[in-house]
Amino acid sequence: TTYSSEFFNTAGRNVKTGLTASVIVSQWTWAATLLQSSNVTWSYGVSGPFWYASGATIQVLLFGILAIEVKRRARTAHTVTEMVLARWG
């Protein structure tokens, strides 16, 4: 079977929500974030990491809402330039 570059770039559109969520969380929790959460724990106690993560979670949720809206408006877009083309023609 011959596959196109679109199939390769979109993983055949077979990536499920769980894998997508785990990728976002793994990219979000990199070394500096882990070190900073330890620093916040040292400074503010046990509730520090909770509030630190709560603030960062808002960013992830807003990105998710934005991604859903972009996908509604430009279903076939794969790159930022294709999204711009769908929006401003």
- Contacting residues for 73 by C-beta, under 8 A, at least 6 apart: 86, 87
pLDDT tens digits, the chain, 89 residues: what are they? 688 888 887 888 888 888 888 887 788 777 788 888 889 999 999 998 888 888 878 888 888 888 888 888 888 888 888 888 888 88
C-alpha R_g of the chain: 18
Supply the pTM of this predicted model. 0.58
pLDDT in tens, 69-81: 888 888 888 888 8
pLDDT, mean over the chain: 85
